[in-house]
Amino acid sequence: SELYEYTKSQELISRIRSASLEPDIEKFLLCAAERHTVFNFSRIADYYAHAPAEIQCFFEESALVIIDYQQAIENGFVRMTQRMVEIMHGGEEEEYA
């Protein structure tokens, strides 16, 4: 896909599934293998711009794009950024867009 590179994830998933693992650890490792998927955020942004509203909503909920900064804070996607701003400004709360 032009939106992501999945090769390493697929290799790990294949190896995990062929191993004799306990179901709970297999499920955990399969979830962890997904972390190796590399996203092409430039192409994701282009796709998002032309996608139907329902798909755009899924992209936003998955933090593939951040359109509404306040919503991103509410969903926990920018906690670290918000905390860094608070530290830099001595706890002052300012809006940054």
Query: Is the same domain home to 56 and 73?
Result: no
Q: If you write DSSP's letter for every residue of 11-58 in order, what string do you get?
A: HHHHHHHHS---HHHHHHHHHHHGGGPEE-HHHHHHHHHHS-HHHHHH
Q: How confident is the model at residue 70 (pLDDT cuts 50, 70, 90)?
A: confident
Query: Is the same domain home to 71 and 60?
Result: no
Query: Is the same domain home to 58 and 96?
Result: no
CA atoms within 13 A on the CB side of 44: 16
Query: Is the same domain home to 86 and 59?
Result: no
- Where is pLDDT greater, at 87 or 49? 49
pLDDT of residue 9: 97
pLDDT of residue 51: 97
pLDDT tens string 17-67: 999 999 999 999 999 999 999 999 999 999 999 999 999 999 988 889 877
